[in-house]
Amino acid sequence: MAVEQYRQIIQQLILERAQRRSALRSSASLSPQEEIETQAILDTERDHYLLLHTGWRDNRRTHGCSLHLDIKDGKIWIQHDGTEVGIATQLLELGVPSSDIVLAFHSPYMRQFTEFATH
């Protein structure tokens, strides 16, 4: 697959998740003190893609990243995956070969024991 296809797939997955989060928040009865925004960060020029959550829950600040993917050297690098389903599984289902997915959240040594690319 080409890098441009990877960009489209990643953007599709992140935007779908962002829209689901927003829809869940809209339909849920949130307290007035709970204002959490989901942000899809899609940097196609530098190939950095993130799904962020930021805002306030009561008097506590919330800021975190549930997904962080990069495209480097023609491969998708999963820097962080805080999702239940697992973004690698979804990438495989969409036709991305395991040889083009790097589980960057594993140490370089541990990557050799996965079915995915090491670098």
Q: What is the pLDDT of residues 82-119, one digit of tens each?
A: 999 999 999 999 999 999 999 999 999 999 999 999 99
Highest mean pLDDT of the ranges 14-23, 25-34, 92-101: 92-101
The answer to whether position 58 is within a domain reads: yes
Is 75 inside a domain boundary? yes
Residue 100 is assigned to a structural domain of this protein: yes
Which pair of tokens denotes residue 62?
A: 């919330």
Q: Is the model's pLDDT at 29 over the cut of 90?
A: no
- Nearest-angstrom CA–CA distance, 77 and 32: 38
Provide the domain count of the chain.
1
Determine the average pLDDT of the residues in 19-38. Answer: 72
Whether residue 116 is contained in a domain is answered as no
Q: Tell whether 33 is covered by a domain.
A: yes
Residues 6 or more apart in contact with residue 80 via CB below 8 angstroms: 65, 66, 67, 68, 105
* Full-model pTM: 0.89
Asked whether residue 118 is domain-assigned, the answer is no
**Is the pLDDT reported for residue 19 higher than 80?**
yes
Answer yes or no: is 61 within a domain. yes
pLDDT grade, residue 23 (50/70/90)? confident
Residues sharing a CB contact under 8 Å with residue 8, sequence separation 6 or more, in sequence order: none
Instruction: Give the model's pLDDT for residue 26.
Output: 63
How far is residue 82's CA from residue 1's CA, in Å, rounded to a whole number?
25
The pLDDT, as a whole number, for residue 83 is 92
- Whether 73 is covered by a domain: the verdict is yes
CATH assignment of the domain containing 12: 3.30.310.110
Containing structural domain, residue 73: 3-111
- Structure letter (DSSP) for residue 4: H
